Structures are given as structure tokens and as C-alpha cells.
Amino acid sequence: MSTSFTHEFNTPSFKGKVNFPTGLFINGKFVDGSNNTTIDVVNPTTGQVITKIAEGTPNDVDSAVEAAQKAFDTVWGLKASGSTRSRLLTKLWQQMEVHQKELAALEVLDNGKTFSWALNGDTAAAIETIRYYAGWADKILGQVQETTEAKLTYSRHEPIGVVGQIIPWNFPLLMFAWKIGPALATGNTIVIKPSEFTPLTAIRMASIIQEIFPPGVVNVVPGYGNTVGNAISTHMKIEKVAFTGSTLVGRKIMEAAAKSNLKNVTLELGGKSPNIIFNDADLDQAVNWAAHGVFWNHGQTCCAGTRVFVQSGIYDEFLKRFTEKSKSIRLGDPFDQEVDQGPQISQIQYDRIMNYIKSGKEQGATVHLGGDRHGKEGYFINPTIFTNTRPDMKIVQEEIFGPVGVLIKFEDEEDVIRQANDTVYGLAAAVFSQDITRALNTAHRLKAGTAWVNCANVLDSNVPFGGFKQSGIGRELGEYALQNYTAVKAVHVNLGIKM
């Protein structure tokens, strides 16, 4: 194994040395890719290369699938009891807890999110997710169906087999946990592709998994979407694929799954979430939550509440306070404990966001705040607020995936529900009102898979998450996610029927 990563962290947030191999993780071993090529991993805070990782290929996906199938047939799948799966998942979250600060520091280094969020948000939630599914592993239940006294009929929830998983760059460790948790709890084996932009925590997790799980149960194959991602989506021996990312890529994966072996598909895709703030909202709380809704994770969040609808009676005061709150967001080194917002993930994403800002200007919207670069190095964009928009503008309709929000004035409930639902997406929504009846009525009428009332962007491992419309298919988290990873079998036992 020729590639490895060594780094000495010496920051106020974390001090320590990390060292681990950065190859593909197949059949319990770290190996070079079949083409012996590598991918540069870039620190978005500086724009500089920090290490190289092995690049996977379709041939490597074949090897990973073969290893996963062997593990499924011999040591996992129906061979490993629920209590065994629970015990190993428990060991995994316990080791993640031991290495929590290290994992958080790696997230900061190759993703750019602030250390406080990486530690107390992402890694803590990832640990909790694995802990949650460790509890489910011995509780995968079927049913007995009453038919006649001459027949016993029951259903079983069996693991599907080898599953492919493709995760994004915005929450690398958390999405890794969201994917492997329910898949392992139900007895499947895994071939998972982390984003080429943020592969370090997935690879580090592989070295932790290596010490706990049998070889081949989890295989990590970093690489590009058009090679490794496509190979997973089209593979004839992968029976299920789960993807988190853009709606555009989700369509391609669904098409590839249909054209190959009609594999089961779970898609958690994009969003353009509305945040509705009524006249009677607690204004200070609405402002704080709205800022969190737009700027959390530097705006690189599928459920970001970037369409902020404010009722006319409080619009001016809300805009004033929201502007002050947005101006107070501190940008800089994400390891600095005083910093609130780090860089965007890459030059590609930085340019994409700036093009949306340019589009907003060209289409006549007002840049009320920001809209420009922060600093001279890295991929930093100042918090940006648009006003005076029209419903047909790109910045109102399309997912920007950056620290850019639009403020829209509305008059009444019917007006805002119509505008809020005027989107191809349906991932999430938020409502702020001290009238709980109105808040719930509004939440129920919004076409979104998640509706927050008097809060935004809060998730729990035991609560389902997923979208309506073009925001996806299926649900992550909670008991619902287990349904993505089992095949239901009906068994009929003849106790006395004569022919």
C-alpha cells in the first residue's frame, strides 16, 4: 500500500498527530487502485493540496463487490445474528467516540467546516446514528399472518445482499454513518464511495472498521462519480443503491439502476426550502433560526431554508435584524474557535455560487448584503442576502448550495403557501408563529418531507428524513430507513391442506 496520510494538528481546537493509509479499503485491506492513480485532496481554507488518495476504478468496484458478496454469504447476512451485528456496531460507535476529536479535525481539514460544528454537530450525530442502529440490529421483526388452521404463514425481513452507497461532500462523516448504520443493522454488506473532495473521514473510518468487522463487510472505494459512482449504479451484482447528492445526479443513478438490474434505489436529493415567518413570530428567535437555516454549514445544506418569506407587518424590522445577525457572522480559519463560517468546498463550488449571485444581479434582484469574496486565499464567500426578487429568478427557483438567501415579503397565509410550494423540490420547510394552530396548519399544507415549527435544520437519528417531489425517494434515519435495506419474504407452511 503506497499511499498514506500523516498530519500534525497544532491548533487551539485540536493537537495531535494522525497517520493512516489512504488506499482503497477492499476485503479488510488497504490497497492501491487497479490503475495506480491518485486523487489530490485539497484544503478549501487555503486551496492547497494536503495529501493524495488512491483512485478507484470500475475494476476495483468489481473486486469490492466480490469481497462483499463473499462476506455476505459466509460471515454476515443470514450468518450473523442480530445480537452479533448489534455488538459490532456498538464497538464501532465506541471507537468513534474515542477518536471523535481526530475525526472532527479531519472533517475541518478537507471540508472546511468549523471545528465546533464538526465536533459537537457532525461527529456527535454520526456517533449517535451508529448507536441508534446498534439498538435496532436484533429487533428486525416480521409478522405472523392468520390464514387458516391448516397453514402457518409468516413474513421475514431479510437483508438484500450487497448494497452500493454514494455519499456527498457536505457532511462526509455524518452521511457515512447515515448510510452504513441501517445497512449493517439489517445484515447487508457494503460498497461505499465517498466524495473525491472529502474522502479522509471515510478512509479513517475504514481503518477503525478494519479492527471490528469481518473482511468484506464494509468496502470503501473513493473515486470519481463518472467512474466509481457509475460502476456502483450499473453493477449487476449490487441489488440496492443509496445516494445523497444533487437531483441531477440522482436522475442519472435512477436511470442507471433501471437499465442494469432494476436495483432498489434510495435518493436523498436537493432542496430549496421555504422558511415562513408570520407577523406574530418571536422575532429574535426567528432571526436566529433563519440565519442558521441559510448559513449553516456555509449554506452547503440540502435542507437549507434559503427562501425566507416574511409577512409584511414585520418585514422591515426583520430585514434590519437579519442583516445585523448576518453581518456578525465571522469568517476565517475553521480551526479558530471564534470563527462561525469557513470556506466553500472547492473552486468549482465557489465559482458556481458566484455565478448564481451574478445571475441574481443581472435579473434585477437587489444585493442587500454580501455577494462578494472574503479574503485572498481559499474559497470564502461573504453571507449574502437578496431582496426585491421575482418568483421566476434563478436565485429563487434553483438550489445554490452556498451562503445565499432571498427575502420575500408576503401578505397572508394563502399567498405564502402558494409561493412556498412553487418549486420542484420538497425536502424541508420551516414555519415561525406563536399561534400553534396556524403554524401546524401551515406545516401540514407545505409539500415537504420535513416541516420545522419555530426552529430550522434540526435533525435526530430516530426521526425520518427525506423529500417529496424531486427531493428524493425513500427515507433516511429512524425505523423508516431500515425498510430501505430489507427484502420482505412471505413463507407459507402447509400444516394439513390436502390436494
Give the residue numbers annotated as catalytic, written as ranges: 268
Q: How many CB atoms lie within 10 A of CB 370?
A: 20
Which one, of 266, 276, 293, 267, lies nearest residue 459 by Cα? Answer: 293
Nearest CA-CA partner of 218 in 193, 236, 200: 193
Cα torsion angle, 84, 85, 87, 88, sign? positive
SS in 3 state form for 202-214?
HHHHHHHHHCCCC
Sign (positive or negative) of CA dihedral 69, 72, 75, 79: negative
Name the phi and psi angles at 97, rounded to 5. -65, -40
